[in-house]
Every structure is written in C-alpha cells, then in structure tokens.
Structure 1
Amino acid sequence: MEISWGLVAPLIVLQIILMIVALVTCIKDEETNGPKWAWILVIILVNIFGPILYFLIGRKK
C-alpha cells in the first residue's frame, strides 16, 4: 500500500500552519482560560484538534 502524498502533504502543511498561528497567539495573549503552559502543551501534543480547541475554548473574550 502506497501513501498518496498529493493528498497527505496539504493536510500536514495545514496542521503546521495552524499550530504555529495558535502558538504565536497563545504566547502574545495577556490572559487565557487556564494556564498558558497547559494550552501550549495541548496545541503541540493534540495535533489538529489542539489549536482548534485553543481558538474555541482557550482564548479569553
């Protein structure tokens, strides 16, 4: 079974961009819902869903 890199590569690039944007936003934000170090770990370790969770739950309005 061969991996179709034409389909996988855009998903990997999207994941990396989303993670970088979430990390930069988390570091620049003054306050977050919960400890900032925990959100950084979630963003890094929970692949695609970590940054999405941060943008939905972690940011203070």
Structure 2
Amino acid sequence: MQLGDLGLQVILPVAIIELILMVIALVDLSRREKEETRGPKLLWVFIIILGNLLGSVVYFTVGRRSGS
C-alpha cells in the first residue's frame, strides 16, 4: 500500500497541528504550579506525549484547574 500525494496532503497538516498542540500543552504544563493541575504533572506529560492529539485536548479540557 502506497501513500499517494492526497494522503500526504491530509496527513502532514494533521501531524503539524498535533505537534503544535503537544508543544503548547507541554509549555503550558511546565509554567503552571503543581496546584494548578489536576493530578501529578509527570502523569500529564505522559498523557500529552503518548496520547497524541487526544492527550493534548484532554489536558486542556480536564488537566488544568478552572480560573487558571
């Protein structure tokens, strides 16, 4: 199975968006105090990195405490 030009045109932007979100989530996590996250920060690092796009979205929706 070969990945054609159309496949690359779809996968590349999604991969770039995923990488950008991951970096933003990791930077945000590193700048927050321990009390400003729900759960251990190291756990969130693993969720963000191993969860790919979904890990970053989960961090932004669940991992940060409201009002922060």
Q: 2:28 is matched with which residue: 20, 25, 29?
A: 25
Q: 2:45 corresponds to which letter in structure 1?
A: I
Aligned-residue Cα RMSD (Å) equals 0.8
| Pair 1:9 & 2:27 matched | no
Higher percent of residues as helix: 2
Q: 2:56 is matched with which residue: 38, 46, 51?
A: 51
In structure 1, stretches of 5+ residues that fail to align are none
- Distance, in Å, in 1 between the alignment partners of 2:58 and 2:10 is 24
CA offset at residue 2 of structure 1? Answer: 2.6
| Percent of matched pairs sharing the same residue | 39
TM-score (normalised: structure 2): 0.84
User: What SS does the corresponding residue of 2:52 show, helix, strand or coil?
Assistant: coil
CA offset at residue 36 of structure 1? Answer: 0.5
TM-score (normalised: structure 1): 0.93
Give 4+ residue runs of structure 1 displaced > 2 Å after superposition.
none
| Pair 1:60 & 2:65 matched | yes
Give the number of the structure whose alpha-carbon radius of gyration is greater. Answer: 2
In structure 2, stretches of 5+ residues that fail to align are none
